[in-house]
Amino acid sequence: MTDAEERAAAATDGEDTVSTEPGGDADPADASVPTLAPVADVLTDAADLGALVHGSAGVVVGLDFDGTLAPVVDDHAGASLAPAVRPVLRRLAARPSVLVAVVSGRALDDLRGRVGRTDEGVVYAGNHGLELGHGDETVVHPDALRRRDDVAGLCDALGDRLADVPGTAVENKGITATVHYRTAHSTAVPGVIDAVETAVADRDGLRVTAGDRIREIRPAVDWDKGDAMRLLSAVAPDDWTTVYVGDDVTDEDAFAAVQPDGAGVHVARGGSAVDPGETAAAHRLDGQSSVTALLRWIDEVAPRPSRRVDWSDLRPLDDPFGPAGR
């Protein structure tokens, strides 16, 4: 998108108009079905999703990072936000009727650095929601914090154990860890998985979960992406809806959390750990390259209220983890 196109798109944010046909404008009160043209070929049941978003006073948009906002890459350290996503993400975050939540297994600081501080309307949920950040505030689940030293020790041990296995990497994310084997030879993968599971079995308070060619080591805490999305949906106004977009098995918790009142959108891709026919999400999007079109469409069909929600008063971090956080 050129600078001129971005300025032109941003200029429509305050207008009470929505396109009902390609190239046509109408008052939202007269528009029962928003335009489907931008996503008709890449999104299943687009009319249902458009009606849900357009018919609500506002929308919480939850977004996974890897495989959703960013293309999946072999080296996890090299992942970056898709260039076309950044301007529309910034525009959505500035909308009074939208709260953007970036929800990822990445550590919170890593996530913030890759997405950038776009606007006060962005909440970050790192380490599958165990870390939450909004504005200058950050809070970490206290039960997860207590396992930080255990995670560090396990990373050291696994780093030594897997040092001679090409294509593997042990990533210490503070309160969790990820063992990557995306580029390891297929014959080495069973041994890598066994090494992780054996190491964790010897440590209390930790557990192993599976992802897309990774194994994650997490505190044995009952909190995941779904809990993070329930929290954010709860702090938004009652007449808002929630849409969550993700591609991996860890996003299934979020899909289940936002539906049926909201909507889940599964981003299909080759090699995904989730079969498109098995996902809990009500909608399927045709690949990560279509995410930008989806977000632009949400920006177009989302309501444009005259009243701005003051996100400086958003307090999801006061006591987000219930009794565990006190």
CATH of the domain at 294: 3.40.50.1000
Asked if 107 and 211 sit in the same domain, the reply is no
Mean pLDDT of 227-233: 93
Asked if 93 and 152 sit in the same domain, the reply is no
Asked if 252 and 116 sit in the same domain, the reply is yes
DSSP string, 237-303: -TTEEEEEEE-SGGGHHHHHHHTTTSEEEEE--TT-SS-TTT-S-SEEES-GGGHHHHHHHHHHHS-
Q: What single DSSP character describes residue 83? A: T
* CA–CA separation, 188 and 203 (whole Å): 24
82 pLDDT above the threshold of 60: yes
Asked if 130 and 235 sit in the same domain, the reply is yes
Give how many domains the chain has, as a whole number.
2
Q: What are the pLDDT digits (tens) for 163-204?
A: 999 999 999 999 999 999 999 999 999 999 999 999 999 888
Asked if 131 and 240 sit in the same domain, the reply is yes
- Which amino acid belongs to residue 207? R
Structural domain includes residue 7: no
Domain boundary among 219, 244, 266: 219
Residue 241, burial from CB neighbour count under 10 angstroms (0-12, 13-18, 19+): buried
Structural domain includes residue 11: no
Asked if 63 and 205 sit in the same domain, the reply is no
3-state secondary structure of 105: coil
Asked if 184 and 288 sit in the same domain, the reply is no
Please report which confidence band the pLDDT of residue 129 belongs to, taking 50, 70 and 90 as the band edges: very high
Asked if 155 and 85 sit in the same domain, the reply is no
pTM of the model: 0.84
Asked if 132 and 152 sit in the same domain, the reply is no
Structural domain includes residue 23: no
Domain boundary among 199, 219, 239: 219
Q: What are the pLDDT digits (tens) for 51-64?
A: 999 999 999 999 99
CATH of the domain at 208: 3.30.70.1020
Asked if 212 and 247 sit in the same domain, the reply is no
Structural domain includes residue 122: yes
Query: Are 259 and 252 in contact, with CB atoms under 8 Å apart?
Result: no
Asked if 185 and 293 sit in the same domain, the reply is no
Asked if 166 and 187 sit in the same domain, the reply is yes
Q: Which residue numbers are catalytic?
A: 64
Domain boundary among 219, 235, 255: 219
**Residue numbers of the domain that contains 215:** 144-219
Q: What single DSSP character describes residue 308? A: P
